Amino acid sequence: MEPSPHTAQSNPPVSNVVSNLSERDLVRRSASTIPPPARQLEPVAKLIDVSKCIGCKACQSACIEWNDTSPAIETNVGVYENPHDLTPEMFTLMRFTEWDNPQTGNLEWLIRKDGCMHCEDPGCLKACPAPGAIVQYSNGIVDFVHENCIGCGYCVKGCPFDIPRISKVDHKAYKCTLCSDRVAVGQGPACAKACPTHAISFGTKEDMNKLADSRIKDLKSRGYDNAGLYDPQGVGGTHVMYVLHHNDQPEIYANLPRDPRISPVVNAWKGMAKYVGFAAMGLAAAAGILHSAFVGPNRVTREDEEKAENLVKDNA
């Protein structure tokens, strides 16, 4: 008999607890230079097994409740997605795709939980001009520090996955924190705890890789020859990964990018900021450059590559 499924190790603490994530665990801080941390936390990851996901939206529900957000009650526009998109009040969203598999002739209902991927190489953080508004911890969590956020929206532009959303109320950027407050006290994210079918798991990235391997093996045994792990290397890998039944075609899962990369514009700008510094360049100037460089959510195009080259040339 197989062992019982892994579940929560314990219920959340209610007595006074001490956070185990702090400033000293930061490896990156937007628009800032910080010393390397003295200790390295074990990298964590959330693994989303799309093949086990039933699209129930428990993750959305748990996310709203844990983070005390208030998404608007919208309308039905002919699809199951609600809210219709990620919002400053909805950090995660089930995206539904009805896909006719051309090989089998069968319909597949592909349901992907969208949200921050917690990139190892985070485009949002690199694009952010506000010192300390976006931070990355040594366990991989990319978190927004709202008191430092200036609401410029460059994190949105810098994100290869189109995740952050700017609040119209307080003009600050919001996204999934990977429940950093829970992880800091040894709990997994609220969505992972709630997920009824264990489609969302949370643990060390090493363990999640192992779990993914076993899931991929199972899927291959069921005829999904192209099952695989989505851990895109263009952004240095991610701390939110997917098991996909059709890993050869990530784009069928509501446009999951095949090869996400940080825009070269961001990288170029980042380089400048590093050498020239904000003070010298001027925030407004930097903002202007970035603003002109982006037209929409980040998808790297040939045009972007050219813009980046120009940017580097012009400012060299």
Partner 1 sequence: MNMELSRRGFLKVAGVGVAGTSLGAFGFGDLEAAQAAAIRPFKLVNTMETRNTCPYCSVACGIIMYSKGDLRKGENAEIVHIEGDADHPTNRGTLCPKGAALKDFVKAETRLKYPMLRKPGSDKFERISWDQALDRIARLMKDDRDANFIAANNAGVPVNRWTTVGFLAASATTNETAYLTYKVVRSTGIVAFDNQARV
Partner 2 sequence: MTNSWTDIRNTDLVVIMGGNAAEAHPCGFKWVTEAKANRGAKLIVVDPRYTRSASVSDFYAPIRQGTDIAFLLGVINYCMLNDKVQWEYVKAFTNATYVVKDGFAYQDGLFTGYDENKRDYDRSTWDYQIGPDGFAVVDETLQNPRCVWNMLKAHVATYTPEMVERICGTPKDKFLKVAQMIAECSTPTKTMTSMYALGWTQHSKGSQNIRCMAMLQLILGNIGVRGGGMNALRGHSNIQGLTDVGLMSNLLPGYMNIPVEKEADFATYMSSRAFKPLRPNQTSYWQNYKKFFVSFQKAMWGDAATAQNDFAYHYLPKLDVPAYDVLRTFELMHQGKVNGYFCQGFNPLLAFPNRQKITESLSKLKWLVTMDPLDTETSRFWENHGVYNNVDTASIKTEVIQLPSTCFAEDFGALTNSGRWLQWHWAGGTPPGEAKRDNWIMAQIHRRLRALYEKEGGPFPDPILGLTWNYADPDEPTAEELAKEMNGYAVETLYDPADPSKVVLEKGKQVVNFSVLRDDGSTACGCWIYSGCFNEAGNNMARRDNSDPDDTGAYPNWTFAWPLNRRILYNRASADVQGKPWDPTRKLIAWDGTKWSGYDVPDIAPNAKPDVVGPFIMNQEGTARLFARGLMREGPFPVHYEPFEAPIANVIAPKIRGNPAARVFQDDLKQFATSEEFPYAATSYRLTEHFHYWTKHNRVNAVLQPEFFVEISEQLAKEKGITPGSWVRVWSKRGEVKAKAVVTKRIKPLMCDGKLVHVVGIPLHWGFMGAARKGWGPNSLTPFVGDANIETPEYKAFLVNIEPTTGPVTS
Binding site for partner 1 (CB under 8 A): 5-24, 41-42, 44, 56-58, 60-62, 64-66, 135, 139, 143, 145, 177, 180-190, 192-196, 198, 200-204, 206-208, 211
Binding test (CB under 8 A) with partner 2, winner from 29, 46, 57, 270: 57
Q: Contact 127/269 with Cβ under 8 angstroms?
A: yes
83 near partner 2, judged by CB under 8 A: yes
What DSSP assignment string belongs to 127-184? H--STTSEEEETTS-EEE-GGG-----HHHHH-TT---EE-TTT--EE----SHHHHT
First to last CA, the chain: 65
Q: Interface with partner 2 by CB under 8 A: which range of 8-16, 29-37, 105-113, 285-293?
A: 105-113
Distance from C-alpha of 31 to C-alpha of 24, rounded to nearest angstrom: 17
Site for partner 2 in 167-196 (CB under 8 A): 196
200 binds, among partner 1, partner 2, none (CB under 5 to 8 A by kind): partner 1
Q: Contact 140/127 with Cβ under 8 angstroms?
A: no
Is beta strand 240-244 parallel, antiparallel or unpaired with respect to 44-49? parallel
9 near partner 2, judged by CB under 8 A: no
Q: Mark residues 202-221: x for contact with partner 2 by CB under 8 A, - for none.
A: ------------xx--x--x
Q: Tell me which residue has tokens 């800091």.
A: 184
Q: Mark residues 244-283: x for contact with partner 2 by CB under 8 A, - for none.
A: ----------------------------------------
Distance from C-alpha of 209 to C-alpha of 54, rounded to nearest angstrom: 22
197 near partner 2, judged by CB under 8 A: yes
Which residue lies nearer to partner 1 by CB, 49 or 304? 49
Binding test (CB under 8 A) with partner 2, winner from 37, 71, 132, 234: 71
Angle at CA of residue 233, ends 227 and 237, nearest 5°: 90
CB of 192 to partner 2, least distance (A): 14
Binding test (CB under 8 A) with partner 2, winner from 32, 108, 132, 254: 108
284 near partner 2, judged by CB under 8 A: no
Distance from C-alpha of 213 to C-alpha of 209, rounded to nearest angstrom: 6
215 binds, among partner 2, partner 1, none (CB under 5 to 8 A by kind): partner 2
CA R_g for the chain: 20
188 binds, among partner 1, partner 2, none (CB under 5 to 8 A by kind): partner 1
Distance from C-alpha of 237 to C-alpha of 233, rounded to nearest angstrom: 5
Beta partners for residue 229, in sequence order: 243
8 near partner 2, judged by CB under 8 A: no
83 binds, among partner 1, partner 2, none (CB under 5 to 8 A by kind): partner 2
Angle at CA of residue 136, ends 43 and 68, nearest 5°: 95
Identity of residue 180? S
Closest by CA position to 103, among listed 249, 309, 275 = 249
Q: Contact 154/290 with Cβ under 8 angstroms?
A: yes
Binding test (CB under 8 A) with partner 2, winner from 15, 16, 33, 106: 106
Residues that bind partner 2 (CB under 8 A): 1-5, 51-58, 60-61, 64-65, 70-80, 82-83, 90, 98, 100, 106-109, 111, 196-199, 214-215, 218, 221-222
